[in-house]
Amino acid sequence: MSAPSRILEALARLYEKSKAGRTGLGELDFQPKFQDLMKEAGCTESDAYELAERELRSLHGSLVELEFAHPRDHSDIFKVRLPLANEAPLYRRLGRSSPTEMRAIWSALFREAMSWPLPEKFCADWKSFCLRHSAQAVHWENMSGFRRDELAAGRDLLNLMTRLLSWSQPDHFVRAVSCRLCGQSKRLEQQRGVLESLLSEVTNGHFASFAALGILDTPKHVLVAGPLRLRFTDHRLDLGPLRDGASLSEADLDRAEIECAATRCVTVENKTSFHQRVVQHSDELHLHTSYPGAATLALLRKLPRTMEFLHSGDTDPAGFDILRDLRQSTGLPFRSLAMDVAPSDVGPALTAEEITLLQNMLADPLMHPERQALECLMNSKRKGAFEQEHR
């Protein structure tokens, strides 16, 4: 295979920034200055310059038209003209789709997405959104949220939009939802701006946020129970006598000095299981947490490193990912507690996103202690009896 042409690659890059390259609506031939083109190609001196110039001259009259500084002196090239009709031949020579072809592929993607399954209440709006974007993609107009050169990412984004619109379990925190929909706990937060903008566009403003879909922000407080004292400049707070614990904010934890008589700290994913453990093990410090928020991390940072740290959670992929996140975000040696996988032929089947999450955890050294449990989940292809309250 011949090496790619540096000068033609540079010509394509510059063309893609022009109105003709971006939209297909250009009326004049694309005609960069010769020296600008050579600079873009990195061919401004010595052999590289000579080879690039020689290649352009060999293509004069076929793929490109050269304009010279003086009509009767062809030694000094002033411009390189790419006729718009030669866009397709240029990209065939480069071995990839032209901008016009890429916009057509995008347009076809939106037409395909029109038929993707959605709850009935969103079907009409989704089809209208896809039909509108299919037309706009032809000239890449009003395509905010999508990048013309990232087709795979665009397909993935559209798929994620349908999964968001199909989400039907209210009052779940955003990282847990992200884990289930994407196989990554932080993706929804990372792409929040574009996703909420598209949600609003698809639903005509009726569902303009994650909250409107029942997806909650990571909590800014942490529920704590056990032998913990917080000492402030003017008072103390003793959680020991509080049977149901207390909700503490990050701000309060940041300004307090911590005294803890417990030798074990147990984080618990499920709220019912949290309260059950508090009654049964009142001498331990208990924190109720899913993916740890700022308040949870603020408290964990202040606890003595001599304590034993354990986490008890669901045994589905998301439950194990919370354990991984705790280890990664705190640097503490959290061990799993009562997180034995219980395979079942009738349990929910693993989704593609959950399989991806399992694969990532199996490759993560942080999850080596749980490798056998993760492999059991992967091999069973089902979650089994995974919820804490069922164990």
pLDDT in tens, 241-258: 998 899 999 999 999 999
Q: Rounded mean pLDDT of 200-213?
A: 96
Q: Rounded mean pLDDT of 87-94?
A: 96
Strand order in the sheet with 228-231: 236-238, 228-231, 257-260
Q: In the predicted model, is pLDDT for residue 390 greater than 70? A: no
Amino acid identity for residue 223 in this structure: L
Question: What confidence score (pLDDT) does residue 1 get?
Answer: 46
Of 28-37, 66-75, 134-143, 377-386, the least confident: 377-386
Q: In the predicted model, is pLDDT for residue 8 greater than 90? A: yes
Question: What confidence score (pLDDT) does residue 26 get?
Answer: 87
Where residue 2 falls among pLDDT bands split at 50, 70, 90? low
Per-residue model confidence as pLDDT tens digits over 283-313: 999 999 999 999 999 999 999 999 999 999 9
Per-residue model confidence as pLDDT tens digits over 38-62: 999 999 988 999 999 999 999 999 9
- H helices of 146-270, in order, are 151-165, 174-182, 187-190, 192-202, 250-255
Domain edges within the chain = 6-94, 99-216, 221-390
Q: In the predicted model, is pLDDT for residue 331 greater than 80? A: yes
Question: Which parts of the chain are beta strand (E)?
Answer: 65-70, 73-81, 172-173, 215-216, 221-225, 228-231, 236-238, 246-249, 257-260, 264-268, 285-288, 308-312, 335-336
Q: In the predicted model, is pLDDT for residue 14 greater than 70? A: yes
Q: How many CB atoms lie within 10 A of CB 152?
A: 7
Q: In the predicted model, is pLDDT for residue 334 greater than 90? A: yes
Q: How many CB atoms lie within 10 A of CB 278?
A: 23
CATH topology for 221-390 is Dna Topoisomerase Vi A Subunit; Chain: A, domain 2 (3.40.1360)
Question: What confidence score (pLDDT) does residue 389 get?
Answer: 53
Question: What confidence score (pLDDT) does residue 388 get?
Answer: 56
DSSP letters along 109-137, please?
HHHHHTTS---HHHHHHHHHHHHHHHHHH
CATH architecture of the region 6-94: Orthogonal Bundle (1.10)
Q: Rounded mean pLDDT of 87-97?
A: 96
- H helices of 166-316, in order, are 174-182, 187-190, 192-202, 250-255, 271-280, 294-302
Task: Tell me the pLDDT of the chain averaged across its residues.
Answer: 93
